[in-house]
Amino acid sequence: MKELFDSTTINGMTLRNRFVRSATWEGMCEDNGRPTPRLASCYSDLAAGGVGLIITGYAFVRPDGKQMPGKMGIHTDDFAPDIKSLTEAVHSHGGRICIQLVHAGGQTTAKTVGRRPLAPSAVKVGQFPEEPGAMTQGDIDGIIAAFGDGARRAKEYGFDAVQLHAAHGYLINQFLSPLTNQRTDGYGGPVENRCRFLLEVYRSVRAAVGPDFPVLVKLNGSDNLEGGLDIKDAVYAARLLDKEEIDAIEVSGGTSASGDKTPVRTKIDSPEKEAYNAGLAGEIRMAVSCPVMAVGGFRSLEVIRGALGDGIDYISMSRPFIREPRLVERWKKGDHAPARCISCNGCFRPGLKEGGIYCVVEKKEAEERANKG
């Protein structure tokens, strides 16, 4: 039976437990994507706190794939010393770090990237801030190559793995979704065609890093949108990746346009509201041989152990680690109280104005304690 603090291996990468810090926008990079010392400190704290695998905030592989401010870039060799400091900070505490590679596609703006955003099709949908331009074959080939270049840099800079962001409405997900992919060429139409871009990105990345370097993917089990990617097509995509020897699949769900079923739901205040993607992850787990990670609302050990018992291999969390970087250490030492995160999403509001994300509730309570003392 799987145990939370088992030591496991993913394609040669040894992890000290089954806890994964899921990718989180931190807002701790310069405008051009260069990471700051604060980001290195953030990852260092997570590693010191016992997290088995840290997945970075989504890093853009080309400037036209940037979305949020303060987002890391992996599109140039200019940032090599700064990025190496991130990986070294994690390794100094015995941790492992994986960089998440992304292109935002139509989920960005012309103001942000300096040109009309690119997407599989020029369509108006709720998740796109403005109507993007339909990608040409040259655009497709260029972005596929950029993913490979980003992966090559990641390996050179000391990352232990790379993850492709194929969820949450970003470019790879846009190709998978029939809502955003209305192409009539070999990349659109039936699900096998809609999976083509994902597979070509994966092959580009695999060629860049070789067979013995872990390549993961974050995949929506469902977009939770009418006309979007559903679990049937997600399972199809997962099986294709499994045949191509993907090393692990992290299962999420939703997009920014998915209403109360977005990737970051609020008011998770009881066990019944936790693990909201576990069902999707379970269906994908039954269809593949590679390890599966589940993310989405895990807060208590009771629910986490239940997910492991149901076949999930790794538990991914994001917001709980913003409030408690040492949550894993706390649980390992015997304090099994649920994570203190109240799922308010206040952590994302400070943004660049205050140097990046942090738990506003924790800060307020600390200030109140200090005033009383």
Catalytically active residues are 170
Question: How far is it, in rounded angstroms, from Cα 117 to Cα 350?
Answer: 26
Residue appearing with tokens 């992996």: 74
Question: Which of 228, 284, 286, 226 is closest to 252 using CA atoms?
Answer: 284
Q: Are 20 and 250 in contact (CB under 8 A)?
A: yes
- SS3 readout for the chain: CCCCCCCEEECCEEECCCEEECCCCCCCECCCCCECHHHHHHHHHHHHCCCCEEECCCEECCHHHCCCCCCCECCCHHHHHHHHHHHHHHHCCCCEEEEEEECCCCCCCHHHHCCCCEECCCCCCCCCCCCCEECCHHHHHHHHHHHHHHHHHHHHCCCCEEEEEECCCCHHHHHHCCCCCCCCCCCCCCHHHHCHHHHHHHHHHHHHHCCCCCEEEEEECCCCCCCCCCHHHHHHHHHHHHHCCCCEEEEECCCCCCHHHCCCCCCCCCHHHCCCCHHHHHHHHHHCCCCEEEECCCCCHHHHHHHHHCCCCEEEECHHHHHCCCHHHHHHCCCCCCCCCCCCCHHHCCHHHHCCCCCHHHHHHHHHHHHHC
- b/e per residue 293-328 (b: at least 16 CB within 10 A): bbbbbbbbeebbeebbeeebbbbbbbbbbbbbbbbb
